[in-house]
Each structure stands twice: as structure tokens, then as C-alpha cells.
Chain A
Amino acid sequence: MAALLKVRNLKTQFRTEGGLVKAVDGISYHVDEQEIIGLVGESGCGKSVSQLSTLQLIPNPPGEVVDGEVIFEGKDLLKFGANGEKMRSVRGGKISMIFQEPMTSLNPVLTVGEQLVEMLELHLKMPRQAAEKRAVELLEMVGIPDASARIDNYPHQFSGGMRQRIMIAMAISCNPKLVIADEPTTAVDVTTQAQLLELMKDMVRRFNVSLIIVTHNLGVVARYAQRIYVMYAGRIIESGTSKDIFIDSYHPYTVGLLKSVPRLDEQRGKKLVPISGLPPNLVNMPDICAFRPRCPYATQCPGEGYPELRQISDQHFVACHIDFQGKSREFYAK
């Protein structure tokens, strides 16, 4: 399948009082047409920043995309002026985003109808009346009961789950090619979370769009993503198919992540093992493997400098100095 989005060596930095924060430090990934991919990592590892960077939505100052390419439909989005006509027609029109906080991501003083209609008018050039009609249809589609009446309601009159449904309706409203869902289900309860994910999957199928699910919860992507990228401290440290990540996980961080989440296919009573230590502070990072301070194999690690991503099977890439394929994990764990 053809790649819809190809990100190469993306680097985003923030100038802060504490120093230079390399929030995203040279990541590369691609999304194929109609593909669902997962972007996983601990809080603060740069997931949101990377996604905002591709649409040039990083507030500058303090942030800046300092390097990289974001090739979408054959054009480098980073070459477009940040808030120019071309960039704006991509935002919401071809690539749309769903954000983490349903409570604060909708404008409290505008009706949900207005917030939908303005997008339809802008990108699809729909006349007002047609746009209003379409907005009702969209709300019905994402499961808002009594949509024709609720279109005139304000965000505070909906529950968190409902608001996230409205965000989903907005995201698909202008027939985009790609939807980026940044932790779309973090702020809602587990049942709602499952419903929202199913809804997103349905929408993706129905409208033939690609989806990036950004999350710190591996469980969320397990069911839906075809390929997964694992991020740590601003870089991608492992990527591959779902099977590569969940069954043949290679990087000690990925292995640790999997041990720290409950799994349905495991025996009850098995202990969850949190990864020891804390994620590194991204200010003034030394040029070594960022996971080294927390790595259980650190004393055996042969490498110096930052490990580059290397291919270990067809789609499976990993950034680790240790060759676990040559010798067993137990050997290094001593």
C-alpha cells in the first residue's frame, strides 16, 4: 500500500528557562492509506509534540520544529507557511486531530452545531443550511441521541464521552485522509473508552481514512493498530507490526511496558512489574541511550553513544545496542 504520510527525522525543540528541551529528537515514521497505527510511550515522551509538529501547531515561541520532513500527498507540509492558506487547508480538511481533553477541547461559548458548521463551510464550501443539515447527520452518526435538537446545545450540556463523540464527528466531517487521535480516551471511564475506540474504528473503515492512535496505554492499541511505534524520550525506540511489538518485543523498555499493564491472556494473580526509575528529563540530554539509567541490562550493555534503529525482521526495527538474538535475555540479566 502507498504511504499517505511519511515523516522523516522530525526534530522539535522548546527553549525554556531550564534549557533546551529536545521534545522530539529525530523521529521517522509512516502511515499507509487506510492503516491504523499506534504511537505509544510514557507521559512526556513527546507523543503530542510530534503530532502537533506535523501540522505546525507548536506554539512558537517557545517551540520550534528545527529539522525534518513531513511528506503528505507528495508535499512537505513543513515547507508551507505555518498559518498560511496551504497549511490551513490541510488542517481539519485533510488531516484532523482529536485531542485528549474532551472537557476543554470544545469552545464553551459556541454551540456544538456552530463548531461543526464552521468547518464544513470552510473546507467543503457548504452553504449554511446544507452544513447545518450535515452537522445533524454527523452527530447522529457518532451516536448523539436527538441530534437535531442537541445541535444548538453548548459543550457544557454534554458528558465527557458525548463531547469526545462530537470531537470525532468534527474530525471526520470534512472527509480527511488522516485522523490523529491524541489520547482520545484517557479522560473517560473504561466502558466509554471501549465505545469510543469502536466508534473510531468504524468511522475509519467507513470513510477510508487512516488513523494514528496516540496513547500511553498499550492495551488501547493492541486491538486496533496494525503497526505500532514505541517512543521513549523524544525518539522511536522500537517499531513493528502489532505482533512484533506484543509477541516478539525486543527493546527492554517495550518489554517493561508490557509487563506493567494487565493482560487478559495471562493468568490471574500474576504480578505487574513497573519499570523502575523515572523517565529522563528532556533538558540537555547526554548523547547516550536514554533508557540506560533504567535498563535492567545496563551493566552488560556493550554500546556507547545513541543506538540507531536497526532492522531485525521485515517490519521490525529497534534501537538497542544489545543483541538479544545472539544470546538469551537471561544471559544479559545476570
Chain B
Amino acid sequence: MGTYIVRRVLLSIVVLLLITIITFLLLHIMPGDPAAIMLGIDAGPEQIEALRKELWLDRPLVVQYGHWLSNAIQGDLGKSVLYDEDVTGFITARLPVTMHLSLMALVLSAVLGVGAGIICAIRRGRILDSVITLAANIGVAIPIFWLGILGIYSLGLKLGWLPLQGYTSPFDDFWLSTSKAIMPVICLAIPSLALLARQTRSSMLEVVRQDYIRTAWAKGLKERVIVLKHALKNALIPVVTLLGIQLRILVGGSVLVEKVFNVPGMGRLLVDSVLGKDFIMVQACILVIALLVLLANLLVDISYGWLDPRVRYG
């Protein structure tokens, strides 16, 4: 297991380098002069030239990359063009917000999704299975923003049970924070939850047909042991793959949900920066999001190794 993890980590570092190159190039791939675009049409040539100097845009690409990377490693991702402030400050303020909501959504969808899938597989063909399967199919098809608006309208406006929008840190006021988080977290979780439930159901049904499950029954084991020990670990292998994909979808979901619920997170920062042509900020956001996805994939790979010895020793 040790060597397996080391291998995955080394591979991740290589991917990390590639990510930095691509994010760095992002600024240069876009047509036109970045400085001119950032400053808009009113800017004069001297202003543009000054910004080019400031951003090292007049140097060779390799030098620029080296400069940018060494700054980035020290936590300096440049200055926002829009606010004339360090990008890093924005990110350290916004990142915990997104992480808070996404992690809650992830845990919620993983626990409930896998649980629902197991129940369906055990109760295959019964009423409970049909109800959950139907709900999961609806959940997969439902648009997040529509669900969000519906929630705000019914639970927030009409019934007044939950705050309409916004975000409070759980360290400031736990209950207010949680009541504000409920709707965004549910909106984020539902698509993943539904997909995970379907995947768990189908892979459990696949696994319980296998010969080694018949062996487990023939050994006299209890159904609970067979399901949770012999079947689940095998069935989770494809589920974990899906979970890895879900993490990426969660990032996309954050963009929508943060907009709908007016949550000051990374997703909204990214959208606002794109609209405001704040390319330095966009670059930083994408780098951070890519890093998170990379980290998530590393975790997925490690849990693969934990679940499946054939991967670990392969």
C-alpha cells in the first residue's frame, strides 16, 4: 500500500506541473494582448505598456512562467486588475466557503446515495426499491438552479422556514450558518446523490450474482455480513470512480448554486472575474480549483487501492 501511495503522489506532482503550465498559458492563449483587454478600450498605449511591464508580459514566455510559478509557490498569485488587491486574499476568503458547502454536499450524497443504493439492491423489486429508483431518476434529471429557486420561493419566501440566501461562517454563528447552508447543500447534493444511488444499486446487484457471494452464503454467514463485508467492498469500486467524477461536477454545481443563493464562494468569484475580465483572478481561481480536483483524484486513487488489492499490487 505504501509504494502504491507514493506512486500516486509522484504521478500527481507531474500532473500538478502540467496544470501550472496550462493555467499560466491561459492568459496567453486568449486572442489579443492581455494588458489591452484588461484595461478596456479607453486605455492609452502608455497605460498598456505600463501594465505589460508590471505583468512581465514583455519578457520571454519561459521567464514569465518561472517568475509566475515561483511567486505562486510563495502564495503570490498576482494582483486583481479589477480591485487592485492581492488575488490570494480573495481566494483565502472565498475558498473555505466553497469547501464548507461542497464537502457537506459530498458527505451527504455519498452516505445517503450509497445507503439508498444498498437498500434498493437488498429490496430489489419491492415497493421501497421502486420509490427510491423513481426518486433517483428524477434527481438526476432535475436542474439545480430551478430546484434552488423553487426552494427559495417555497421554504424561504412562502413558509419562512429558512433564510433566503447568503452565507455565514459556522465559526461565527453555527445555527445561522447551518440554516443558510441547508438549501445550497441540498441543491448541490441532489444530482450526485441520485447518481450514486443508481450506481450503487446496479453494482450491488451485479456483485450479489457473483460466485464468491454464493460461497459466502454457503459458509453460513449472516445476510448483514454478506452485504456489508463481502458485497459492499466490491460494489464500491465503480462507485468510487463515479465519486471522483462527482467531485468535478460539484465544482460546476458550485458556480450555479453560489449564484442562485448569493453565496460568496469560489464559483461566484470565478464567474464575476470572467465577466469583469479580471484575468489574473480567473487564472488564480482555475489554478486553485484544478488543485482541488487533483487532490480529490488522489484521494479517489488511494481509496481504490484500499478497496481493491488487485490495484494495490498491480
**With an 8 A cutoff between CB atoms, is A16 at the interface?**
no
Complex CA distance for A96 and B220, rounded to whole angstroms: 9
Contact present for A118 and B221 (CB under 8 Å): yes
On chain A, which size bracket covers the interface?
20 to 34
Cβ of B234 < 8 Å from any Cβ of A? yes
Q: Are B310 and A99 neighbours in the complex by a CB distance under 8 Å?
A: no
> Complex: how many Å from CA A157 to CA B230?
18
One digit per residue, 1 when the CB lies within 8 angstroms of any chain B CB and 0 when it does not, for chain A 113-132 equals 00000110011000000000
Check A101 for interface membership: any CB of B closer than 8 A.
yes
B210 — nearest CB in chain A belongs to which residue?
Answer: A104
Given contacts A104-B211, A104-B212, A109-B307, contact A55 B234 (CB under 8 A): no
Give A78-89 as 1s and 0s: 1 = Cβ < 8 Å from B's Cβ atoms: 000001000011
Q: Which residues from B are CB-within-8-Å of A83?
A: 217, 222-223
Q: How large is the interface on B (under 10, 10 to 19, 20 to 34, 35 or more residues)?
A: 20 to 34
Q: How far is the CB of A20 from chain B (nearest CB, A)?
A: 19
**Is the C-beta of B219 less than 8 angstroms from some C-beta in chain A?**
yes
A32 to chain B, nearest CB (A): 23
Q: Given that A83-B223, A88-B221, A122-B221 are contacting pairs, would A107 and B310 also be in contact in the complex, using a CB cutoff of 8 Å?
A: no
In the assembled complex, which residues on chain A have CB atoms less than 8 Å from the CB atom of B233? 109-110
Give every chain A residue within 8 A of B309 (Cβ-Cβ).
108-109, 111, 154, 156
Q: Is the CB of B234 within 8 A of A92?
A: no
Whether A107 pairs with B218 at a CB distance below 8 angstroms is no
Q: Which residue of B lies closest to A100 (CB)?
A: B211
Closest chain-A Cβ to B163's Cβ sits at a distance in Å of 45
Contacts of A90 in B (CB 8 A): 220
Residues on the A chain within 8 Å of B212, using CB: 104-108
Given A104-B210, A108-B234, the answer on whether A92 and B310 have CB atoms closer than 8 Å is no
Contact B217 A91 (CB under 8 A): yes
Scan B188-219; emit 1 where CB is below 8 A from any A CB, else 0: 00000000000000000000001110111111
Using a CB–CB cutoff of 8 Å, the interface residues on chain A facing chain B are 52, 55, 57, 83, 88-93, 96-97, 99, 101, 104-111, 118-119, 122-123, 154, 156-157, 167, 170
Q: A-contacting residues of B (Cβ < 8 Å)? A: 210-212, 214-223, 225, 229-230, 233-234, 307-310, 313
